[in-house]
Amino acid sequence: MPGWLLGGEKKKREKARLRRGVNILVATPGRLVDHLETTMAFDTSATRWVVLDEGDRLVDMGFLDTVGKVLRIVEGRVQHSLIKMSKEGVVETKLPGRLVKILCSATLRGEEGLGALETIVNPVFLKAETETALQAQDVDHVFTPGQLTQQAIILPAKLRLVTLTALVTLLTQRAAPAKMIIFLSCTTSVDYHHQLLSSFPLDLTLFQLHGSLDQPVRTSTLKTFSAMKGRAVLLATDVASRGLDLPDVDMIVQFDPPFNQDDYIHRIGRTARAGRKGEGILFLLPSEEEYLTALSSHGAEIQRLQYQTILQNAFGQDWMNKSTTHQLHAENWVLQDQQVPPQNPHLLTFVENSVGSLSISGSYSRVYNTLVD
């Protein structure tokens, strides 16, 4: 029976869960240490495997001390149990004779930062889909599933939004279930684009996810999005880039590029999972074209995608007029400010500042000429 320990939940409920017993426990580092130190019913002496997922995040976000404490406590209890069993003549043949520690990451840089985890000695590095071990210096290379298609769109800022709405429109033309995750840079941007896209008559369900939402709301959102059997779009910050296995996600759109290669890899890792096909589309400004060079230098194979192709596929032969209609709808929505909740001044400021960057132009002819060019 699986169980979980998560910051934000009531400890009393978690303690009751531990008393009933669990075979597989999923936990955040801080809450796990808390229960190891204070919950008497939490017996880890029979533990034989500790899996540390998202190892690079443990390294770069200051969790190493906490994880080190977890390993010391658990390993100490396991060793004490094994010594006691040996003295009593008890031989266990179905379980390993030691605590096995497994650290997983798509972007960990060899042994970088692992020195603080003194219980991990002489680690062996393995790569998925291969039978050979890697050298520590080889772990920096980008490895992605063969069924994942990576593409980049380089376009001016004034065409970003209409191209995004075209991608969402293309999703509505796919057979259900079909899902897309759109990654944005911050909470305010997620709120803004969620409200803006909600103003379009789209045949799908829109969700949003970011760190400012309460944990029960985030949990409910992920549960509902995962259970959807129709078409759905999740707008999210990097809070959704790791540790989530969301079914039927066909496309990852990085509307705002991440700050580094690692975040790029983890974002596109939400699709093309367990043998399924998937697409990753990255939006870039002309001034950000060197971003592709940086990714390619680490082995990423990214194809160029023309925004005209997306607009044509989404809107058909009359794509210029329909693209203009979508853009003007967005401009009118922004100028009206009717969708902006007054209790969110940060979102109001974001919308006010976005009017200039959102607009293609104020006239149909200039919009038409921009799209033709």
Per the prediction, the chain carries an average pLDDT of 83
With 90 as the cut, is the pLDDT of residue 31 above it? yes
With 50 as the cut, is the pLDDT of residue 364 above it? no
Q: What pLDDT does 187 receive?
A: 95
Q: What pLDDT does 118 receive?
A: 59
Q: What digits encode the pLDDT tens for the residues 154-165?
A: 999 999 999 999
Q: Cα angle at 130 between 291 and 47, to 5 degrees?
A: 100
Q: What are phi and psi of 227, to 5 degrees?
A: -80, -10
For residues 234 and 247, give the distance between their C-alpha atoms in angstroms, rounded to a whole number: 12
Phi-psi region of 235 (alpha: psi -120 to 50; beta: other; left: phi over 0): beta
Q: What pLDDT does 178 receive?
A: 95
For residues 357 and 164, give the distance between their C-alpha atoms in angstroms, rounded to a whole number: 15
| Residue-wise DSSP of 46-91 | T--EEEE-SHHHHHHTT-HHHHHHHHHHHHHHHHHHHHHHHHTT--
pLDDT confidence band for 115 (50 / 70 / 90): low
The sign of the torsion formed by the CA atoms of 114, 120, 121, 127 equals: negative
In percent, the amount of the chain with pLDDT more than 70 equals: 80
Q: Which two tokens stand for residue 154?
A: 């380089």
- CB 152 within 8 Å of CB 282: yes
Going from N- to C-terminal start, the domains of the chain cover 43-138, 148-372
The sign of the torsion formed by the CA atoms of 298, 302, 307, 313 equals: negative
Give the pLDDT mean for 267-294.
91
Higher pLDDT, 179 or 119: 179
For residues 47 and 40, give the distance between their C-alpha atoms in angstroms, rounded to a whole number: 16
3-state secondary structure of 150: strand
Q: What are phi and psi of 160, to 5 degrees?
A: -65, -50
Cα distance from N-terminal residue to C-terminal residue, the chain? 60
Q: Which two tokens stand for residue 143?
A: 């490895």
Of 57, 2, 100, 24, give the one whose Cα is nearest residue 243. Answer: 57
Which CATH number is 148-372 given? 3.40.50.300
Q: Which of 33-37, 72-76, 115-119, 210-214 has the lowest mean pLDDT?
A: 115-119
Pairing of strands 303-304, 148-154: parallel
Q: What pLDDT does 367 receive?
A: 35
Cβ partners under 8 Å of residue 66, min gap 6: 29, 30, 33
pLDDT confidence band for 336 (50 / 70 / 90): confident
Q: What pLDDT does 202 receive?
A: 94
